[in-house]
């Protein structure tokens, strides 16, 4: 829930407030830096949480038996290369979806369609609320039906939604824009919710933290770092709706490779 709650809080408390107080020139010049500087406070919060979280019972047993891996990341690559890539693929879809809906679409609607920034921020808040609502129950559901089924369903939904995302935005109708953004982040929530359990379950106890951590960050690089400039370049060179099609393509790629099987470990 950290992602939707953090996004919602940042948008409503900082960006929405600052864009109301500051004019566009001041916001573009220096105002946008303030939220990033304030985020350093969260580093301290995260550190406190991490220091107080106990290790899992399974890892505690491995530690007591002195069976921990000396080089867990190397061992993860050696013993679980397929799982590393499959886990990264799951997270790549998540990052491509959230970038397309939360960043690229925001730029497109304000600069190309001429919708006021404050109005788009309000519509984004609706979509983020949908993300939070979907992220909360889906992991519990995945405990019953399995992570694989829900992640596959989310990818299938994303493949379809990417095709209708920009046509809905192009209507300029605020209700349909909210539906467009909410549908994209609902797709993200369906995949993102179970991923916190899916990734660790792919790896044996000796390398679980390193394997899951590397898979997640590799997906972040592929979807959060590499995808944005690619989508932007395609949108500038062809048409903005390419952003939606790229979301569909990534979701289809995930379906072709299929979600990782539930390990139950």
User: Tell me, what CATH number does 94's domain have?
Assistant: 1.20.1250.20
User: Is the same domain home to 66 and 14?
Assistant: no
- On whether residue 213 sits in a domain, the answer given is yes
Residue-wise pLDDT for 219-250, tens only, equals 888 888 877 787 778 777 777 777 788 888 88
Residue-wise pLDDT for 21-52, tens only, equals 777 778 778 887 887 888 888 888 889 988 88
User: Is the same domain home to 76 and 151?
Assistant: yes
User: Is the same domain home to 235 and 218?
Assistant: yes
- On whether residue 265 sits in a domain, the answer given is no
- On whether residue 264 sits in a domain, the answer given is no
Q: How many CB atoms lie within 10 A of CB 60?
A: 12
User: Is the same domain home to 13 and 89?
Assistant: no
User: Is the same domain home to 49 and 82?
Assistant: no
User: Is the same domain home to 115 and 143?
Assistant: yes
Domains of the chain: total: 2
User: Residue 258: which pLDDT band, with cuts at 50, 70 and 90?
Assistant: low
User: Residue 265: which pLDDT band, with cuts at 50, 70 and 90?
Assistant: very low
User: Residue 190: which pLDDT band, with cuts at 50, 70 and 90?
Assistant: very high
Its pTM stands at 0.82
User: Is the same domain home to 69 and 145?
Assistant: yes
pLDDT(259) > 70? no
- pLDDT for the residue numbered 264: 43
List the Cα angle 45/49/50 in 5-degree steps. 115
Q: Judge whether 246 and 188 are in contact, CB under 8 Å.
A: no
User: Is the same domain home to 69 and 49?
Assistant: no
pLDDT(86) > 80? yes
- On whether residue 263 sits in a domain, the answer given is no
Q: Judge whether 198 and 165 are in contact, CB under 8 Å.
A: no
Number of H helices and number of E strands within the chain? Answer: 16, 0
- On whether residue 76 sits in a domain, the answer given is yes
User: Is the same domain home to 122 and 20?
Assistant: no
The first and second tokens of residue 83, run together, are 């799982």
User: Is the same domain home to 41 and 85?
Assistant: no
User: Is the same domain home to 110 and 33?
Assistant: no
- On whether residue 145 sits in a domain, the answer given is yes
User: Is the same domain home to 113 and 46?
Assistant: no
Residue 44, domain extent: 1-53
């Amino acid at each position: 829930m950290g992602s939707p709650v953090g996004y919602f809080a940042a948008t409503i408390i900082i960006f929405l407030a600052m864009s109301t107080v500051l004019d566009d020139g001041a916001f573009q010049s220096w105002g946008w830096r303030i939220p990033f500087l304030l985020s350093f406070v969260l580093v301290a919060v995260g550190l406190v949480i991490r220091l107080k979280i106990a290790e899992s019972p399974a890892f505690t047993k491995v530690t007591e038996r002195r069976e921990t891996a000396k080089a867990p990341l190397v061992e993860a690559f050696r013993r679980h290369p397929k799982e590393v890539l499959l886990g990264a693929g799951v997270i790549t879809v998540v990052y491509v979806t959230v970038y397309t809906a939360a960043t690229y679409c925001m730029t497109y609607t304000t600069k190309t369609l001429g919708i006021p920034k404050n109005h788009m921020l309000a519509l984004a808040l609706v979509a983020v609320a949908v993300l939070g609502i979907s992220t909360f129950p889906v992991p519990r559901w995945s405990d019953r039906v399995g992570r694989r089924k829900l992640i596959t369903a989310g990818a299938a939904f994303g493949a379809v939604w990417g095709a209708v995302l920009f046509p809905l935005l192009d209507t300029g109708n605020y209700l349909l824009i909210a539906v467009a953004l909410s549908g994209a982040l609902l797709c993200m929530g369906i995949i993102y919710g179970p991923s916190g359990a899916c990734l660790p379950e792919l790896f044996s106890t000796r390398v679980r933290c390193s394997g899951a951590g590397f898979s997640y960050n590799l997906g972040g690089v592929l979807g959060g770092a590499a995808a944005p400039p690619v989508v932007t370049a395609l949108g500038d060179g062809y048409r903005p709706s390419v952003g939606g099609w790229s979301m569909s393509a990534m979701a289809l790629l995930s379906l072709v490779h299929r979600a990782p099987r539930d390990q139950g470990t």
